[in-house]
Amino acid sequence: MVEESSIFGKGFTVRGGDFANAGEVSCKVRNILKEIGINSDIIRRVAIVAYEAEMNVVMYAREGTLSFEVTPDRIKLVMEDEGNGIENIELAMQEGYSTATDEIREMGFGAGMGLPNIKKNSDDFKINSIVGKGTRVEVTIST
Amino acid sequence: MKLKELVEKLDLEVKSASGNLETEVTGGYVSDLLSDVMANCKKGDIWVTLQIHPNIAAVGTLKELAGIIINNSREPEEETLKKAEGEALPILISKLPAFELVGRMYELGISGLR
């Protein structure tokens, strides 16, 4: 997905069920963007998108990749996972809807805010999911 | 108000990043739902929660919070403190229940609205 105009791009692996390291990839993404001097309001939006996308893989998928790419006018994030997929995307986009287990909820996750939070902080948001295979979320944030 | 003053006035126990208490606390937020904090907490906020697992350190870092107060004397997990230390994020413990803790912070001039 790296385009010619890309200034920077990188991908990270996120492991499903790995709550101990959950959030680390988002922190890495944030630190890189900070280093290359991206505006802090943009970084805050990217951080929310990356965090929620990362947590979705940790909570629901077997494994996923979070990659981002910076070009002069936008940041693109792609989250792709191998997992159960989402049966009803419309429902999943509704705030408060969640299929999280009680165990996950007790940790304060699975509030049904993840995908809505991602969408709210995106300028462009695309989601595709195949049940039994996995989910792909693509987000663009204009800089 | 500086985080250091909060620590003194509310008798908080500093569990990580004790060298980073000069930060200005510009607001406050209470929630035990991580996504709620990601969506609504603001940079410079002090966050009150009961959660003690390592993910709170990631949330606090990503949101650039002034610090996290764990209420009701709950002890954060060791891994949480390790991560917070690495990110220079102060984690503090209060003996008080959340309602009382927040009430006292409000009296000290910290607001949940900006």
What domains can be seen in chain B, in order of their start residue? 3-107 (3.40.1390.20)
CATH number assigned to the domain with residue range A8-142, chosen from the 4 options 3.40.50.2300, 3.90.1640.30, 3.30.565.10, 3.40.50.1580: 3.30.565.10
d(CA A3, CA B15): 45
CB contact under 8 A, B54 and A107: no
- List the domain boundaries for chain A: 8-142
Cβ-Cβ contacts under 8 Å, B34 against chain A: 55, 107-109, 111
**In 3D, which of A71, A35, A73, A67 has the Cα closest to residue A136?**
A67
pLDDT over 80 (residue A4): no
Question: What would the pLDDT profile of B1-34 be if each residue is shown by its tens digit?
Answer: 999 999 999 999 999 999 999 999 999 999 999 9
A5 versus A44: which is more confidently predicted?
A: A44
Question: What would the pLDDT profile of A14-44 be if each residue is shown by its tens digit?
Answer: 999 999 999 999 999 999 999 999 999 999 9
Question: What would the pLDDT profile of A59-68 be if each residue is shown by its tens digit?
Answer: 999 999 999 9
> For the residues A111-137, what does the mean pLDDT come to?
97
DSSP letter string, B41-70: --TTEEEEES--STHHHHHHHHTT-SEEEE
pLDDT over 70 (residue A90): yes
Residue of B29, B32, B33, B34 for testing the chain A interface, max A β-carbons within 10 Å = B34
pLDDT at residue A6, rounded to an integer = 77
Residue of B33, B35, B41 for testing the chain A interface, max A β-carbons within 10 Å = B35
pLDDT band at A3 (very low <50, low <70, confident <90, very high): low
d(CA A79, CA A70): 15
In the block, residue with structure tokens 């462009």:
A124
Could you say which residues of chain B have pLDDT below 50?
Answer: none
Chain A contact present for B64, CB below 8 A: yes
pLDDT over 70 (residue A2): no
Count of alpha carbons within 13 Å of B46, Cβ hemisphere only? 32
pLDDT at residue A1, rounded to an integer = 52
Query: Do B65 and B20 contact (CB within 8 A), yes or no?
Result: no
Cβ-Cβ contacts under 8 Å, B54 against chain A: 19-23
